[in-house]
Structure 1
Amino acid sequence: MPHVLIVEDEPSIVTPLKFLMEQEGCSVQIVSDGAAVMPAIAAQRPDLILLDVMLPSRNGYDLCRAIRERPEGND
């Protein structure tokens, strides 16, 4: 089962995204704060990350760079 990490702090966006991903057979994890993203990735290793740009603690652009710089397979 594919695992999707939704990084979004707005419940009105999270709810339909989560519903749609689950309807497609995905397991879904929700993170609403930028500081929690990297630990969530290390713990669950998602197949897909839906990343908001404007987040509390850390913006989505910085997180995207940090995610891309991670060596694949290392935590």
Structure 2
Amino acid sequence: MSTQAAKGQAFHALHERDHPFIIPNPWDTGTARLLAYLGYEALATTSAGYPQATSSVSTCRRRCPLCSGPHF
């Protein structure tokens, strides 16, 4: 799944199932990796969590990979 369109279709499909779609919102890299390891299919993002955890306000403007899974 490499294109943005394919990622969007996969994310949309998560909302169309018969059972609830639960999407956690990790605040740091460790939590994101743990949640991905536990099998969550997608992770929400927070605009301030990572910068606050690292004391880096400028980090808000950069994209930081949190885990090796797909990013929606």
Q: TM-score when scaled to structure 2?
A: 0.38
Greater C-alpha radius of gyration: 2
Per chain length, whose mean CA-contact separation is higher, i.e. which structure has more relative contact order (CA < 8 Å, sep 6+)?
Answer: 1
Structure holding more strand per residue: 1
